[in-house]
Amino acid sequence: MPIYLFILIFFSLFSAFKDAIMSLTPYQLHWSEALIRRVELRLQQVHASLEVFYRKQKYSAVTHTTATAEEDGEQRQQEEGPISSVGSFLLRTCVHSTPLYETQLEHGVGADIAIKIPEEVCSLKEIHDGHYLERRHVFLLKVEKFLKKYNEKMVKKKASTSSATAETEEREMTDEHERRSIVPWEVRRVPFGGGSVKTEKDILRICFLKSRSDKTRREVFHVDVHFQPIALTGRIASVAAVRKHPFYSYLVQEDALMTVHLRKLHELYLKNHLLSRATVFLKCWAYHVGLMARTSGHPEGLSGFHISALLLRLVEEGVILPSMSEENVIRAVWVYLSRGPTHNKINGSWKDTPVPAAEERGEVAVLRLTGETMNLFFRSSAAFFQKVVKRAADEALQLPHFSEVFVKFPFQPLQLAMDTCFVVEGLLAYFAETDSTPVVKKTGAARSPSVQRVQAIQDLVQEALGSRSSYATVWRRGEDSVHVAVQLTTEVEGRNRLTRGPPVEDTEAVEHFNAFWGKDITSTRQFPDGSIHRCVLWSFDDDVGANTTIALSAATVIRRVLEFALRKHLLPTAKVSLLLGGLEGVLAERIGAEWRDAAPMMQKSLMEACRNVETMIGEVPRTALPCKITSLEIIAPSERHTATFPVRPHLALTYTTDDLTQPNFAGLSTEPTIEPIHGVLTIDDKNKIPDTIEAIAAIKGAICAQLSKVLHEYYGDDKRHSGARSKKPVKRDVENQQKEPQCELQGPHIRTSCTSHSVDIIYKGYLFRFYIAHYREVSLLRALQRESEAAMIERKLFWSVQHAKFLRTIAFGHHSYPMAVRLSKRWLSAMLLLEFVLPEAVELLVAHAYLGSNPPKTFVGGFFSLSSDNCHS
């Protein structure tokens, strides 16, 4: 193959590799004039259908009333129509919720319409009595039913009137005609604010369908239908009302103030176009680092309106000035988030203003606009802001240029931004009661009953994990499932099998510890510092027949601990699984009659075989070889646990007298090929050999032959050499001499062979192949201008040794590193790219993430570090 063709193929495949890992689609939607007209037309179609609904139901005219803190409970009335446009589409600050195309189609870009709930459905008295959410849901179901029937009727009417002229219309069809035609839509209920399931309120999402090539596809945008109360008075929005029943008051204000907030933001962006650009950038950043609720489904996450409200608040405080640059505006918002917005004052000028109890205790993040009593962050806890939002803002502030946030950090939803994430299923009975209970006006309530249930799970998770995690958050992802995202303290602490409880002197804490875990699994243990604690030592099914000295991963240990605690205190049907845990399945291979990962099964036997072979070669007398062996390094990836499919003992390399049921032969292979375990022997001739390539080649061949002969004499299984083995010059005392016959019978038995450049050693089913490296060989080849041969020998015999030493240190310092490398190699192989990328390069790319200031603590994080490095390099 010509070299230029090879280079062309390489770069085309590498480009495909980057596109496959992460589509680098821009976050900001390109609002072309045609697209704007299309969205506005769809808004008009939905608006017209809702007007038909209002006329058909004969609802009375609507007077929208609002009350703010500035007016101290006084009402302010303004005549408006029952339907109005709201949201960020009108402000042109909409962005993609994710750069991935599939998720973009799932979420899309939304335009928003707000419809007021008429007095016939929910009167002002019913709002004051706490029945707003119940009446709102009834009205939502009625609108949903009407929109579905209305669209079906319009589509059928269009089909019947245009059937006679179908051929003519097909010939005259243009984009403009298609854009103005009636299109089918689907109506679905989605949680308010981007949550996953079972939030306090739902909205209607209208997704438009289009037919292309006999296939129905969704358009990239949709229309969300929101609902507003008929009025907002001081009995809901006043300071006293917020103090008495904050949660209900915030939910009503959230709906009522949408049009008010739209006017404020419109005035803000109309005065300074730079602020709208900064808003779009901050929304992209929030999506990129996993802070948005729509990306993760976490109800405590941010929304696009929160980002806009942050800028508006900083403008009101005078922190952001009209003369500031875009970068300074963005950094001002990051600084505000890094400080953690937990101010408990409703208005900065009021010193003795009462606030809800949760805000007084600092449990909830706080953001209020001037003159309003509503806390825009009433769903977000202070802990979530401190551990998730503040951390992302601090990382962004460390960058020299603000736009580097999209280059230095990969796109990650919250589940991947945390160290590990678990899926807990089987909780349908646990949420059944709260899901059927409507949210009512309750004194002092700061959360809904469903959220309180989730908070109880989070408290249980934090107590179960203890010192293993620095932060854990829980949120619902389905009718019977929740996600548990955990930030580990350290990887070592995460995979610790011992849960250390209180000291035995604290009888009250010991009693609570025994009650939490159960006396049947707790025990008392003494630690090296002399302290005695109550503990739990966890056992695992992986230990049975694993024959491994490598500790289990942090995800495996935490999954076992969480499952035990949830089944004991929550539901016996709770099932815990690792999110993306199925990645481990791609490393399974056929072993006997089953498919499983061979690495945990044979790591101990391989390590013991490597150490024994190193000991055999190290005990060879110096006088037996013409040169001194200065070092011995095994460079095979299997020895440092980074081989995709590790080397297993082979049946053809065993003796008929071997007991194959022993753990040393676990995972015995019968493949038609035998893969050797490579090693390098470095020699030093002390300048006794002439500086010629021929002399070095001759001495290397002589060493191979002599080493093979000596090893066979001392450790070979040929009975004819038993006399030679008895002459081994090793010092023994009298006691060892008495045990000599027994030791010889139990000692290692090997078979050796050699070539002019390598030595083969067969031991316990493994084939070890050692090469001889001479320190002057590379320099001599370069002096003779044999660069290609010198580069090959240098990489094979010298750089590979340094590479093995370096990665062995990382592999044994970070337990998740080998699994991350194996997954990366397996993925590249599946993408047909591994033949163009050296396996050593893959190991170094993953190692780069583990050498950073915040190394991955799980193999999933290490695996995704490969994609981020390659997409942003």
Instruction: Quote the longest CA-to-CA distance of the chain.
Output: 112
Residue 333 CB-density burial (10 A; 0-12 exposed, 13-18 middle, 19+ buried): buried
Looking at residue 485, its pLDDT comes to: 94
Q: What 3 state SS string does 64-113 have?
A: EEECCHHHCCCCEEEECCCEEEECCCCCCCCECCCCCHHHHHHHCEEEEE
Tokens describing residue 739? 């045990």
Helix (H) or strand (E) holding 202: strand 202-212
| pLDDT bracket for residue 468 (50, 70, 90) | very high
224 and 107 in contact (C-beta within 8 Å)?
no
- Verify that 362 and 490 share a domain, yes or no: no
| Residue 423 within any structural domain of the chain | no
Q: Does residue 392 sit in helix, strand or coil?
A: helix
- Report CA 594 to chain centroid distance, whole Å: 30
133 and 439 in contact (C-beta within 8 Å)?
yes
Q: Which residues contact 558 (CB under 8 A, 6 or more apart)?
A: 420, 422, 465, 468, 469, 486, 494
Mean pLDDT of the chain: 81
How far apart CA 700 and CA 707 sit, in angstroms, is: 10
pLDDT tens, position by position, 5-45: 333 333 343 343 344 334 344 555 556 777 788 888 889 98
| Residue 10 within any structural domain of the chain | yes
Which of the two residues, 11 and 472, has the higher pLDDT score? 472
Q: Report the CATH number that the domain containing residue 411 is assigned in CATH.
A: 1.10.1410.10
At residue 184, what are phi and psi to the nearest 5 degrees? Answer: -70, 150
DSSP 8-state class, residue 558? H
- Which amino acid does the sequence have at 872? H
- Cα dihedral 781/787/792/793 (nearest 10): 10
- Verify that 673 and 773 share a domain, yes or no: yes
Closest by Cα among 385, 336, 338, 348 to 364: 385
Q: Within 10 A of 66 (CB to CB), how many other CB atoms are there? A: 20
| Residue 649 within any structural domain of the chain | yes
- Verify that 453 and 356 share a domain, yes or no: no
pLDDT tens, position by position, 614-671: 999 988 888 888 888 888 899 999 888 889 899 989 888 888 888 888 877 888 888 8
How far apart CA 419 and CA 436 sit, in angstroms, is: 34
647 and 606 in contact (C-beta within 8 Å)?
yes
Looking at residue 3, its pLDDT comes to: 36
- Verify that 744 and 845 share a domain, yes or no: no
Range of the domain at 67: 31-161+178-236
DSSP 8-state class, residue 798? I
Q: Does residue 792 sit in helix, strand or coil?
A: helix
Closest by Cα among 258, 206, 220 to 94: 220
| Residue 503 within any structural domain of the chain | no
Q: Does residue 500 sit in helix, strand or coil?
A: strand
Q: How many domains would you assign to the chain?
A: 5
Q: What 3 state SS string does 461-497 have?
A: HHHHHHHHEEEEEEEECCCCCEEEEEEECCHHHHCCC
Q: Does residue 130 sit in helix, strand or coil?
A: coil
| Residue 657 within any structural domain of the chain | yes
Examine the pLDDT at 470 and tell me if it is beyond 90. yes
DSSP 405-455: HHHHS----HHHHSSEEEEEE--HHHHHHHHTSPP---TT--S-HHHHHHH
**In the predicted model, what is the mean pLDDT of residues 502-508?**
92
Looking at residue 12, its pLDDT comes to: 40
Tokens describing residue 155? 């589509």
Which residue matches tokens 């050296």? 838
Task: Tell me the Ramachandran region of residue 627: left when phi exceeds 0, alpha when psi lies from -120 to 50, beta otherwise.
Answer: beta
- Verify that 845 and 803 share a domain, yes or no: no
Residue 395 CB-density burial (10 A; 0-12 exposed, 13-18 middle, 19+ buried): middle
670 and 719 in contact (C-beta within 8 Å)?
no
**In the predicted model, what is the mean pLDDT of residues 382-406?**
91
Looking at residue 169, its pLDDT comes to: 47
210 and 183 in contact (C-beta within 8 Å)?
yes
Closest by Cα among 805, 806, 775, 801 to 790: 775
Looking at residue 831, its pLDDT comes to: 84
Tokens describing residue 823? 């997954």
Kind of pairing between the strands at 109-116 and 215-228: parallel
Tokens describing residue 15? 């480009």
pLDDT tens, position by position, 509-568: 999 999 999 999 999 999 999 899 999 998 887 665 555 445 678 888 999 999 999 999
Lowest mean pLDDT among 261-270, 585-594, 734-743: 734-743
- Verify that 229 and 143 share a domain, yes or no: yes
Which of the two residues, 384 and 548, has the higher pLDDT score? 384
pLDDT tens, position by position, 746-776: 556 889 999 988 999 999 889 999 999 888 8
| Helix axes of 246-256 and 132-162: crossing angle, nearest 10 degrees | 30
Q: Specify the length of the chain in residues.
A: 873
Work out the percent of the chain whose per-residue pLDDT is above 90.
31
Q: Within 10 A of 108 (CB to CB), how many other CB atoms are there? A: 22
Tokens describing residue 162? 């245009």
- Verify that 276 and 344 share a domain, yes or no: yes
- Verify that 793 and 819 share a domain, yes or no: no
- Verify that 39 and 145 share a domain, yes or no: yes
| Residue 584 within any structural domain of the chain | no
* Buried b / exposed e along 756-778 (16+ C-beta atoms within 10 A): eebbbbbbbbbbbbbbbbbeebb
Whole-angstrom CA distances from 308 to 97, 138, 276, 311 are 15, 31, 9, 5
Tokens describing residue 696? 């070095």
Looking at residue 461, its pLDDT comes to: 95
Tokens describing residue 340? 């953690």
Closest by Cα among 337, 332, 460, 313 to 388: 337
- Which amino acid does the sequence have at 401? H
Q: Which residues contact 712 (CB under 8 A, 6 or more apart)?
A: 718, 721, 750, 751, 752
- Verify that 774 and 826 share a domain, yes or no: no
Where a domain ends, among 383, 401, 417?
Answer: 417
- Verify that 94 and 105 share a domain, yes or no: yes
Which of the two residues, 3 and 163, has the higher pLDDT score? 163
DSSP 720-767: GGHHHHHT------HHHHHTHHHHHHHS--BEEEE-SSEEEEEETTEE
Q: What is the pTM of this model?
A: 0.81
Looking at residue 744, its pLDDT comes to: 40
Where a domain ends, among 579, 604, 639?
Answer: 579
| Residue 760 within any structural domain of the chain | yes
Looking at residue 324, its pLDDT comes to: 92
DSSP 818-849: HHHHHHHHHHHHHTT-TTTS-HHHHHHHHHHH
Q: Which residues contact 388 (CB under 8 A, 6 or more apart)?
A: 290, 291, 414, 417, 473
Tokens describing residue 700? 């290397």
Which residue matches tokens 């490095």? 869
Which of the two residues, 543 and 601, has the higher pLDDT score? 601
| Residue 166 within any structural domain of the chain | no
Q: Which residues contact 261 (CB under 8 A, 6 or more apart)?
A: 305, 309, 369
> Radius of gyration (Cα) for the chain, nearest Å?
35
Kind of pairing between the strands at 482-488 and 758-763: unpaired
How far apart CA 306 and CA 376 sit, in angstroms, is: 7
pLDDT tens, position by position, 59-70: 876 555 555 444
- Verify that 88 and 225 share a domain, yes or no: yes
Looking at residue 546, its pLDDT comes to: 52
Kind of pairing between the strands at 469-476 and 766-774: unpaired
